[in-house]
Amino acid sequence: MLEARMAVSISIDYLGGLRCQATHGPSKNQFVTDAPVDNHGKGESFSPTDLVATALAACMATVINIKANSKGYDIPGMKVSVEKHMSEDSPRRIVRLPVTIEIPLPADHADRKLLEATALACPVHQSVHPDIDMPVNFVWNG
């Protein structure tokens, strides 16, 4: 059995009106989630499923730059976008998370294959259910 390296506590306070306030234990940073408009909410903030998509994109950007930093460089200006597609049938679930990663480096960069593989091996990508379609498009703009 795999053992967790470090547990991070996150607490949720239900505020009413389909909103929750999340608190990150170590930093005490907070944010509010809202149910999406198509599921009885106001859509005035990230929904819980929006956060799954956000986590995927942020994780890919983070690990690419961790790898780049280990090789002695950084990639400012990199952009990652993701679209969240929900099922039309029941149960309600995420069915597709297409990702585009725009990397401001030349297409023939020596670490291209390494950085692409690193993105696909990010912890969130490895944790999302395999039934979710997650195509990744890398755009090299250097």
Q: Are strands 94-96 and 99-103 parallel, antiparallel or unpaired?
A: unpaired
Q: Is the pLDDT of residue 1 over 60?
A: no
Phi, psi of 59 (to 5 degrees): -65, -45
Neighbours of 57 (CB within 10 A): 20
Q: Is the pLDDT of residue 3 over 80?
A: no
Q: Which two tokens stand for residue 21?
A: 């306030």
In the structure, what pLDDT confidence band is assigned to residue 7 with cuts at 50, 70 and 90? Answer: very high
Mean pLDDT (whole number) for 110-119: 98
In the structure, what pLDDT confidence band is assigned to residue 6 with cuts at 50, 70 and 90? Answer: confident
41-50 contacts, C-beta under 8 A, 24 or more apart: 42/17, 42/18, 45/19, 48/20, 49/84, 49/86, 49/94, 50/84
Q: What is the pTM of this model?
A: 0.93
